[in-house]
Structure 1
């Protein structure tokens, strides 16, 4: 699947952006509004797994080599590129850090920006966060996040499937984001938006990244303090072009 270029063995990077299933209305998704056909499609075409990541205590529905769409040609997946279906190393590091340090989120309001599979939001909920919003622009990711919450015996978290960078900045105690610095233009937008959050609301920002080139050379590096490094599991290394570690960074503009 063409996600290989971004680090996974999956072949569907150029998947079609249309879809045969109704998605979540008005940019929001909740467990009670899941479309039965889409829910059944994801349950049939993903594998529940907790192996090979930094957080074996979290179960997730992901695309794996056991799934037929892992091997399918581009365009066969009936939705936009399934980036949510990979547990990326930056998200793994953030989730591991939160599980190991629950005081970081306990009793606090959390925005999981670019939530993907929802693992970091799930880790925050497991660790006692008082309010969580998972944000991902792919509505299918919103459905997957809800299913993943249920897999872990958690009530679904609220989900926003609009581009939050275009919306008025909310007040959050902590913003977490992993693997989001993969494109120069997006990185610039994120940098400014995160600075505004910090300056306006004194929001803390934690970033997870395995050291991708776009992140390592971006000007945000001058405003980061490394919190922790984690060695990646062998399977994650193989799926991410040999990257060996992933880090959590504290953004201090």
Structure 2
């Protein structure tokens, strides 16, 4: 039986995100080799990019905010939605959250989160499947860089607003993507996040963290 966690360890190197050097992660440095390796390992072509192999600007900004102000997550039930490598989830666990879950529809992303959580000595639950449509069981939902495509935004935004209406504090961390909502947001913080030309068309992204209103 193939071991996704062993695959991730073999195909990445331990690195520290520019904005959150306190948290080491198993990361790739180039998009094409890890993408090709993932397709070969899955024996499947035309897959989505391996988002789990990089520390994206939105997740870095949320992690920085939480580590700088741990009370935002301490004692709370936290969901890292579309978690990628699990960076925001790990920061919440380090801040003393009562429970941390990472949600992803990509099983390799969940495996990456487990590998990275173990590297940092924290507990992050990784339930399988799409949580969109689930009843609210969290106090804080972290959604980093999720509004980059119209279908994705249309699928998740009504649910995230429903979570806010149910009492959760929902953060959107947006680095200037096209489909972020223009209304119903309350700005919380801004960060300038160094980026790589492997992923972005510039050397840094200004990330705005906003609270999503019901």
TM-score calculated relative to the size of structure 2: 0.88
Provide the residue aligned with 1:202 in structure 2. Answer: 167
Provide the residue aligned with 2:139 in structure 1. Answer: 173
Mark the runs of 5 or more structure 1 residues left unpaired by the alignment. 1-19, 22-36
Provide the residue aligned with 2:99 in structure 1. Answer: 131
Deviation at 1:214, TM superposition (A): 2.0
Deviation at 1:157, TM superposition (A): 1.1
Provide the residue aligned with 1:16 in structure 2. Answer: none
Provide the residue aligned with 2:126 in structure 1. Answer: 159
Deviation at 1:189, TM superposition (A): 2.3
Q: d(CA) in 1 for partners of 2:37 and 2:111?
A: 23
CA RMSD of aligned residues (A): 2.2
Could you say what secondary structure the match of 1:161 adopts? coil
Q: d(CA) in 2 for partners of 1:42 and 1:246?
A: 27
Q: d(CA) in 2 for partners of 1:48 and 1:110?
A: 25
Q: d(CA) in 2 for partners of 1:106 and 1:46?
A: 30
Asked if 1:42 corresponds to 2:8, the answer is yes
Does the CA contact (< 8 Å) of 2:149 and 2:178 recur in 1? no
Provide the residue aligned with 2:19 in structure 1. Answer: 54
Number of residue pairs aligned between Structure 1 and Structure 2: 208
Provide the residue aligned with 2:188 in structure 1. Answer: 227
Q: d(CA) in 1 for partners of 2:175 and 2:32?
A: 28
Could you say what secondary structure the match of 1:163 adopts? coil
Higher helix share: 1
Q: 2:200 aligns with which of 240, 243, 246?
A: 240
Deviation at 1:75, TM superposition (A): 4.0
Could you say what secondary structure the match of 1:99 adopts? helix
Q: d(CA) in 1 for partners of 2:55 and 2:205?
A: 15
Could you say what secondary structure the match of 1:91 adopts? helix
CA distance 1:197–1:151, shift in 2 (3 Å): same
Q: d(CA) in 2 for partners of 1:73 and 1:118?
A: 21
Looking at CA atoms only, which structure, 1 or 2, has the larger radius of gyration? Answer: 1
Asked if 1:76 corresponds to 2:36, the answer is no
